């Protein structure tokens, strides 16, 4: 069962590659074996770069044999959400409109991964133009949840989450505008990291809503997320939104924090995030908090003001900016959009300048409120989604007598950390009675990703998360 190595953490893979116990080509072949076995039923990939990946693996193998070992991503396969550009590779954005577009550039994040010796193996299925949270895609098939193929993977980075959960690839670069990394990570039982806005370059991605778009990663372990962030973070002259802040040595910090949990203080907001939770989600989250407390970590209830502004700090930005980006195609090729995406983009054309300006004002007030709280606590913790993965035919969900549309339910807990730009990681913490994964979000102060990664890594070691969250395919 050579392909089972792909279900291990990048830490295990990279140690074996460095020691000569595993070759990059063996690892690439193991990933391709998983893709060939499972992708036809799960629709996680749009483009698979079999021959290119084999060539790159042979190059990495030769370098390592010659004593040129670059670091923990050397020889490690990765994929990219199909809104992230790679030179010479088709970038469809999950759409009919861009179905024949071949990129002439590498996105900065992709270029950095390649420079670190990582091997691009393909592009992942996404909700069309990343403009949705279900990953139902009329053009390329809908990625399916590997825990139950009759249920949604979540989106818009659904293909990325599915491919990592199944061990088709150890890591995937993805984007998050409304929760698009964290939501599918929660529903599929993997780790999804959205860094601080400005920490990772967005150069070379297909924009959705530029003031909300983030580039991050999906992995099976918090250690792996730290290793990927270590590489892709940093100032980029090609993206004026990136901040010129020193990139910490995340892997060293995460490993060094294992025995120092007593210094971590956790705040749990009492408002908003617990208003609508399925009973299984609430039960699992409380069990997660009990585990955190058993690790000698201090946990406190906290109060958040301004929560009434969460939705209106996000909606006009998300809808208005998306509509502006797509305006020309809406006017000339509207019939080529999927119905749900066209409808959402048309809603964006109705956003007023007043609403847009107010949204920017609200997001600053909300950010200030969260930053104020995070001066007293290292991190905040909330459930990632109020529900587990819904079925493909579900349009709405009833929680405690309140009906929520599926988009509203899945993105409810995540949108505020896009509009405030704070770093957030979703980690798997348990299962529903139907054996569907449930995630929790850890949120940190701006540019303090090491805090959320350290707690996530400490928890997953106590919980034995890695193999526990392997889908029973």
pTM of the model: 0.98
Task: Give the pLDDT of residue 260.
Answer: 55
Classify 234 in phi/psi space as left (phi over 0), alpha (psi -120 to 50) or beta.
left
Q: How many CB atoms lie within 10 A of CB 348?
A: 23
Q: What is the pLDDT of residue 263?
A: 76
E strand or H helix that includes residue 403: strand 402-405
DSSP line for 24-56: HHHHHHHHHHHHHHHHHHH--EEEE-HHHHHHH
- Which burial class, exposed, middle or buried, applies to 259 when counting CB atoms under 10 A from its CB (0-12, 13-18, 19+)? exposed
In CATH terms, the fold of domain 2-468 is Amidase signature (AS) enzymes (3.90.1300)
pLDDT digits (tens, 9 = 90+) for 360-412: 999 999 999 999 999 999 999 999 999 999 999 999 999 988 999 999 999 99
Residue 180 bears catalytic tag: yes
Q: What is the DSSP string of 55-118?
A: HHHHHHHHHHHTT----TTTT-EEEEETTB--TTSB--TTSSTTTT-B-SS--HHHHHHHHTT-
Q: Please, what is the end-to-end C-alpha distance for the chain in angstroms?
A: 14
Render pLDDT for 166-202 as a digit per residue (tens, 0 to 9).
999 999 999 999 999 999 999 999 999 999 999 999 9
Point out the catalytic residue in the list 14, 81, 202, 309: 81
Catalytic option among 109, 153, 156, 426 = 156
Question: Which tokens hold the place of 223?
Answer: 């250690």
Say what the pLDDT of residue 258 is: 56
Q: Which residues pair with 300 in a beta bridge?
A: 267
Per-residue pLDDT band at 230 (split at 50, 70, 90) = very high
- Name the strand (E) or helix (H) holding 285: helix 279-294
466: pLDDT strictly greater than 90: no
Q: Which pair of tokens denotes residue 211?
A: 């003031």
d(CA 290, CA 202): 38
Quick: pLDDT tens for 235-278.
999 999 999 999 999 999 999 865 555 578 999 999 999 999 99
Q: What are 50's two structure tokens?
A: 């079999």
**Per-residue pLDDT tens digits for 125-172:** 999 999 999 999 999 999 999 999 999 999 999 999 999 999 999 999
Check whether 49 has a pLDDT greater than 60. yes
Catalytic residue among 160, 178, 180, 322: 180
Closest to 112 (Cα-Cα) out of 212, 242, 206:
242
Peptide bond into 407 cis (omega under 30): no
DSSP symbols for 156-192: SSHHHHHHHHTTS-SEEEEEESSSTTHHHHHHHT-EE
């Amino acid at each position: 069962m050579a392909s089972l190595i792909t279900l291990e953490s990048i830490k295990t893979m990279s140690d074996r590659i460095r020691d000569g116990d595993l070759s990059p080509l063996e690892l690439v072949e193991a990933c391709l074996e998983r893709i060939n076995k499972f992708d036809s039923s799960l629709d996680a990939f749009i483009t698979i770069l079999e021959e290119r990946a084999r060539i790159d693996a042979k190059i990495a193998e030769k370098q390592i044999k010659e004593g040129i070992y670059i670091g923990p991503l050397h020889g490690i396969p990765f994929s990219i959400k199909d809104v992230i550009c790679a030179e010479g590779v088709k970038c469809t954005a999950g759409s009919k409109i861009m179905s024949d577009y071949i990129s002439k550039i590498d996105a900065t994040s992709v270029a950095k991964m390649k420079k670190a010796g990582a091997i691009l193996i393909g592009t992942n299925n996404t909700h069309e133009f990343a403009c949705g949270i279900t990953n139902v895609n009329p053009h390329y098939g809908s990625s399916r949840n590997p825990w139950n193929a009759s249920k949604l993977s979540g989106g818009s980075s659904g293909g990325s989450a599915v491919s990592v959960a199944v061990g088709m690839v150890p890591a995937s670069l993805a984007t998050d505008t409304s929760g698009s990394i964290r939501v599918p990570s929660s529903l599929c039982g993997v780790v999804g990291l959205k860094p601080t806005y400005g920490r990772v370059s967005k150069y070379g991605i297909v924009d959705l809503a530029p003031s909300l778009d983030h580039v991050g990663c999906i992995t099976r372990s918090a250690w792996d997320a730290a290793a990927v962030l270590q590489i892709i973070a940093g100032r980029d002259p090609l993206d004026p939104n990136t901040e010129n802040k020193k990139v910490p040595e995340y892997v060293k910090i995460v490993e060094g924090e294992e025995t120092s949990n007593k210094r971590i203080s956790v705040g749990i907001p009492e408002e908003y995030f617990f208003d609508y939770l399925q009973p299984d989600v609430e039960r699992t989250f409380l069990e997660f908090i009990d585990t955190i407390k058993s690790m000698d970590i201090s946990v406190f209830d906290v109060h958040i003001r301004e929560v009434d502004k969460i939705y209106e700090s996000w909606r006009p930005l998300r809808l208005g900016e998306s509509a502006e980006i797509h305006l020309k195609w809406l006017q000339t090729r509207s019939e080529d959009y999927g119905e749900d995406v066209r409808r959402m983009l048309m809603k964006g054309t109705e956003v007023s300048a007043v609403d847009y300006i107010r949204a920017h004002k609200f997001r600053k007030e909300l950010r200030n409120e969260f930053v104020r709280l995070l001066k007293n606590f290292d991190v905040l913790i909330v459930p990632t989604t109020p529900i587990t993965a819904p079925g493909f035919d579900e349009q709405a969900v009833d929680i405690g007598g309140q009906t929520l549309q599926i988009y509203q339910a899945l993105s409810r807990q995540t949108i505020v950390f896009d509009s405030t730009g704070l770093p957030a990681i979703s980690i798997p913490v348990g299962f529903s009675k139907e054996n569907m994964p449930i995630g929790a979000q850890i949120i940190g102060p701006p540019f303090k990703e090491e805090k959320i990664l350290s707690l996530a890594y400490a928890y997953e070691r106590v919980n034995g998360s890695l193999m526990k969250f392997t889908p029973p395919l």
